[in-house]
Amino acid sequence: MEKAVILKKGKEESLHRYHPWIFSGAIQRIEGKPEEGDIVTVYTNDRQFIARGHVQVGSIAVRVLTFNNEPVDQSFWNRRIATAHDLRERTGISSREDNNTYRLVHGEGDNLPGLVIDIYGDTAVMQAHSVGMHVNRMQIADALKEVLGDKIKNIYYKSETTLPYKADISKDNGYIMGGNASNIATEYGLKFHIDWLRGQKTGFFVDQRENRSLLEKYAKGRKLLNMFCYTGGFSIYALRGGAEIVHSVDSSSKAIDLTNANAELNFPGDKRHTAYAEDAFDFLDRMGNNYNLIILDPPAFAKHRDSLRNALIGYRRLNAKAIEKIQPGGILFTFSCSQVVSKENFRTAVFTAAAMAKRNVRILHQLTQPADHPVSIYHPEGEYLKGLVLYVE
Ligand code: SAH
């Protein structure tokens, strides 16, 4: 019997608008006893084909892979990866001489819900966020080899922390191909050690590339604080941009080691840079009015809708401290990467922070994620990175 999901009457409406998620409440019955991660065919209540996708336990029960009645086989994966690669080629990011760091697959934004692939030089780091993508990981790896050919020599699979905690599967990280990888990648002419074995996410925050580049233009002669620095991305761009001093702060000492290593890799012996392993709030409390360019790029304060309220309080407190202490004429780059915090939510939190600090604040730029993190117009939830560049009088 075909593995199939039959929707309740009328529940196909969001699928006509190509939204790729089917919530468990929309399902009338499941046939053919699919296991978690299997491909299922989705039918309307009067048994018309509507989609095909990965089934999973949880509130999002099916992640749609295709709205066409086509098999999800090796050729399907090859075509999807080729389409994703095309976008990066045509937007220029994958063919620049000064850059070999980019996102090749951005989940729903590439019609591959639950899958992220980042490219670092000749290594692809693949991360499954759904059981289905985990089940299909070898086919996806084959598709990568087919499409990228000898452009990649290593494929590292890293899903230990991103797969559902309860799923009954072995989630070990490891190389699917190669293993002898150099872990230095280049982003817009700067070099970074990427630790995909132990680092956060796929090892690097590729999504801040364009925002780092904008920061570089504002860095000349400035005294800069890079709060939540992780690998020091913003700091290294600031050094190239001619900043007078650059202080990097992160609560993780591993992050501070990485930041120091990356500063050393690009600007050996440069005395302008110092890194501190310290909690953000402690540092902001004790620092004086020493900075006129501050970056706040905290981890997602809200991972789920229930924590939204506390997250907004967190963003408000953090921004209020920075706005209060930044020198007159200072510039603040402030971000939120929480998907559940909307652009409006975030702006309101920062607005409240500005009012609390009683400073005159103007918005210079409104930032988001770069083109290699595309947002499907049918899946606005995919827009997760929000940033404001503020001028504080
Ligand atoms: N700006 C970075 C990415 C930041 S990720 C980039 O461009 O790559 C968020 C970082 O915040 C992590 O490195 C994490 O270790 C750090 N962090 C989390 N909680 C913190 C806290 N309370 N104080 C300081 N750093 C914190």
- The mean per-residue pLDDT over the stretch 180-186 comes to 88
Measure 232 CA to ligand 1 centroid, in angstroms: 10
pLDDT class of 48 with cuts at 50, 70, 90: very high
**pLDDT of 58 over the 90 cut:** yes
* Length of the chain, in residues: 393
Question: What CATH class is the domain 74-188?
Answer: alpha beta
Q: Tell me, which fold does domain 205-392 have in CATH?
A: Rossmann fold (3.40.50)
Ligand 1 atom showing the smallest separation from residue 233 Cα: 7
Q: Whose CA is nearest to atom 26 of ligand 1?
A: 251
Measure 251 CA to ligand 1 centroid, in angstroms: 7
Which pLDDT value is given to residue 33?
97
Which pLDDT value is given to residue 378?
97
Choosing from 228, 237, 318 the residue with most ligand 1 atoms within 8 A of its CB, the one to mutate for a pocket test is 228
Quickly count: other Cβ atoms within 10 Å of residue 96's Cβ. Answer: 13
Q: Whose CA is nearest to atom 3 of ligand 1?
A: 230
Which pLDDT value is given to residue 306?
82
The closest of 14, 3, 75 to 50, measured between CA atoms, is: 14
Which pLDDT value is given to residue 302?
81
Measure 200 CA to ligand 1 centroid, in angstroms: 10
Which pLDDT value is given to residue 180?
78
**Region 4-66: CATH code:** 2.30.130.10
Q: How many helices (H) and strands (E) does the chain have?
A: 10, 20
| 302 within 8 A of 386, measured Cβ to Cβ | no
Q: Whose CA is nearest to atom 20 of ligand 1?
A: 251
Task: Flag whether the pTM goes above 0.85.
Answer: yes
pLDDT per residue as tens digits for the range 90-148: 999 999 999 999 999 999 999 999 999 999 999 999 999 999 999 999 999 999 999 99
Q: Kindly write down the DSSP assignment for every residue of 180-237, as one continuous string.
A: ----EEEETTEEEE--TTTSSTTSS-GGGHHHHHHHHHH-TT-EEEEES-TTTHHHHH
Which pLDDT value is given to residue 169?
77
Measure 252 CA to ligand 1 centroid, in angstroms: 8
Measure 348 CA to ligand 1 centroid, in angstroms: 22
Measure 338 CA to ligand 1 centroid, in angstroms: 13
Q: How far lies 125's CA from each of 79, 103, 117, 161, in Å?
A: 19, 10, 6, 14
Q: Whose CA is nearest to atom 15 of ligand 1?
A: 252
- The mean per-residue pLDDT over the stretch 212-241 comes to 98
Measure 51 CA to ligand 1 centroid, in angstroms: 39
Ligand 1 atom showing the smallest separation from residue 204 Cα: 8
> In whole numbers, what is the pLDDT of the chain averaged over residues?
96
pLDDT per residue as tens digits for the range 69-87: 999 999 999 999 999 999 9
pLDDT over 90, % of the chain? 91
Ligand 1 atom showing the smallest separation from residue 297 Cα: 1
pLDDT per residue as tens digits for the range 163-173: 887 777 777 88
Ligand 1 atom showing the smallest separation from residue 252 Cα: 15
Choosing from 120, 210, 250, 257 the residue with most ligand 1 atoms within 8 A of its CB, the one to mutate for a pocket test is 250
Q: How far is CA 153 from the centre of its chain?
A: 23
Which pLDDT value is given to residue 66?
98
Measure 336 CA to ligand 1 centroid, in angstroms: 12
Measure 3 CA to ligand 1 centroid, in angstroms: 43
Ligand 1 atom showing the smallest separation from residue 335 Cα: 1
pLDDT per residue as tens digits for the range 339-393: 899 999 999 999 999 999 999 999 999 999 999 999 999 999 999 999 999 999 9
β-bridge mates for residue 5, sequence order: 30, 42
**pLDDT of 24 over the 90 cut:** yes
pLDDT per residue as tens digits for the range 235-286: 999 999 999 999 999 999 999 999 999 999 999 999 999 999 999 999 999 9
Enumerate residues 6+ apart whose C-beta is below 8 A from 46. none
**pLDDT of 324 over the 90 cut:** yes
Measure 250 CA to ligand 1 centroid, in angstroms: 5
Enumerate the domain spans of the chain: 4-66, 74-188, 205-392
Pocket of ligand 1 (CB under 6 A): 205, 208, 228-231, 233-234, 250-252, 255, 279-280, 297-299
The closest of 93, 92, 88, 149 to 122, measured between CA atoms, is: 149
